[in-house]
Amino acid sequence: MREVEKRNPQLAGVLPKTFNLFTGTLLKELLKKISEIPATLDFDAFGRIYEYFLGEFAMSEGQGGGEFYTPAGIVRLLAQVIEPFHGRILDPACGSGGMFVQSARFVAEHHENPAAELAICGVEKTDETGRLARLNLAVHGLEGDIRHGGNVNSYYDDPHAAVGAFDFVLANPPFNVNAVDKDRLKDSVGPGRRYPFGLPRTDNANNLWIQLFYSALNATGRAGFVMANSASDARSSEQEIRRKLIEANAVDAMVAVGPNMFYTVTLPCTLWFLDRGKAGTKRAGTVLFIDARHIYRQVDRAHRDWTEAQIGFIANLVRLYRGEAPDPTLGGDETAAKLKEVFGKKPRYADVPGLCKAATLAEIEAQGWSLNPGRYVGVTPGEDVSDEDFKEQLEELNEELETLNAQARELEATIAANVAGILEA
């Protein structure tokens, strides 16, 4: 292992130096399996094997697995929508590097060399997970600058000098993190800095992450990331931050995702897509909302995912909204057929009740600057609310209630402190 690291500097400190003793029978079977690998096997197959084991391990780990792994279907949709053909790409909460791998796959599917087209930069707080990311890149024939371990923390640290420096950002950050030391962030607040829209008063880091993603983009940059549903509707100072982001014409599309798509939580989530180049386009002043909660494939009782055709359909829906031609690379004929079924023989974007809605800023303001797709898309005519939909809605309302209760407790403490100060004066 030390010799491999010596000859491959990008793997320095990554490979394990321990070993296990195998029984003769197990070793025999292992060597037999290795001998069955065809010599003509595509190099990327080893990367896919690595991804497979990461996914299986994440599923077996349950809650802990989410710290390093995002399901490939989710990541693939993010990459399909932001279209990282060429440029610098950042993930400030990179886990095992799946966002980079899927971005590289997107480039390869369009017949270009990912290693030549993408400059990869990542940050990972957990040292072991950062090593997983570096190894994941290596087995896919990629190199990147992954900063991990030690005291590196994306809230406080900016090892890649990210502000305005990236063409693409992809991320699945931890949701609803508390106890961030905001005093350490004060010098990073304001226009042209890491937190351009200010710090939320609530003890919740969702809007810190969102601003980190936004501020890292250059003038034409795009971002795609996973976020807790509560961030779409949060009130008070978080609502004000969201308003500024929307009025900056940076929010391109919002996709509601149903439950059981992740190994870590059963709750639904939302995919956010930012595009800082949108302001000069015809879609400026609108945001596309997509309700994809009813689009899925049931893997087993507790898990769902998307087929390639389903990912292709959602991604091409966004392309139609942007005025772009559909890209049949993912999903092929099945994707093309679904687009024609929903949007006509020559597909052009149109609002579809229960699926998508391009809402104006005036409509969004009327909804309290909410970015929850359910507020705009509505339901398909004649569709009844199922027990499962009711459960999803109840879970979302309960999540919002918990956020509001936390804000109420914070206000109560502030009022009590102010009253005490007056009485002591």
Query: Of the segments 59-68, 124-133, 363-372, which one has the largest average pLDDT value?
Result: 363-372
Domain boundaries, the chain: 61-306+350-380
Cα 389 to Cα 73, 130, 293, distances in angstroms: 22, 38, 9
Residue 105 has pLDDT above 70, yes or no: yes
Assign a CATH topology to domain 61-306+350-380. Answer: Rossmann fold (3.40.50)
- pTM metric for this prediction: 0.81
Average pLDDT taken over every residue of the chain: 86
- Burial of 197-208, coded b for 16+ CB within 10 Å and e otherwise, reads bebbebebbbbb
What is the rounded CA–CA span in Å between residue 113 and residue 224?
Answer: 22
Residue 247 has pLDDT above 70, yes or no: yes
Which band of pLDDT confidence, cut at 50, 70 and 90, is reported for residue 15?
low
The average pLDDT across 326-340 equals 94
Reading the block at residue 276, the tokens are 């800082």
Packing angle, helices 308-322 and 332-343, rounded to 10: 50
Q: How many CA atoms lie within 13 A of 47 on its CB side?
A: 20
Task: Output 65 or 220, whichever has higher pLDDT.
Answer: 220
Query: Tens digits of per-residue pLDDT, 141-187?
Result: 888 999 998 889 999 999 999 999 999 999 999 989 999 999 999 99
What is the rounded CA–CA span in Å between residue 50 and residue 72?
Answer: 13
The average pLDDT across 272-285 equals 94
Task: Output 205 or 260, whichever has higher pLDDT.
Answer: 205
- Burial of 33-69, coded b for 16+ CB within 10 Å and e otherwise, reads eeeeeeeeeeebeebeebbeebbebbbeeeeebbbbb
| pLDDT at position 388 | 56
Question: Which range is least confidently modeled, 159-173, 259-273, 343-357?
Answer: 259-273
Cα 373 to Cα 293, 297, 421, distances in angstroms: 10, 21, 43
| pLDDT at position 312 | 96
Reading the block at residue 14, the tokens are 């990554």
Which band of pLDDT confidence, cut at 50, 70 and 90, is reported for residue 63?
very low
What is the rounded CA–CA span in Å between residue 382 and residue 379?
Answer: 8
Residue 64 has pLDDT above 60, yes or no: no
Sign of the Cα torsion 84, 87, 91, 95 reads positive
What is the rounded CA–CA span in Å between residue 47 and residue 73?
Answer: 16
The average pLDDT across 296-301 equals 88
What is the rounded CA–CA span in Å between residue 74 and residue 102?
Answer: 10
pLDDT > 70: percent of the chain: 84
The average pLDDT across 1-18 equals 69
Task: Output 71 or 106, whichever has higher pLDDT.
Answer: 106
Which band of pLDDT confidence, cut at 50, 70 and 90, is reported for residue 25?
confident
Query: Tens digits of per-residue pLDDT, 381-416?
Result: 655 555 655 666 676 677 778 777 877 888 888 898
Which band of pLDDT confidence, cut at 50, 70 and 90, is reported for residue 254?
very high
Query: Tens digits of per-residue pLDDT, 107-130?
Result: 999 989 999 999 999 999 988 888
Reading the block at residue 180, the tokens are 């961030």
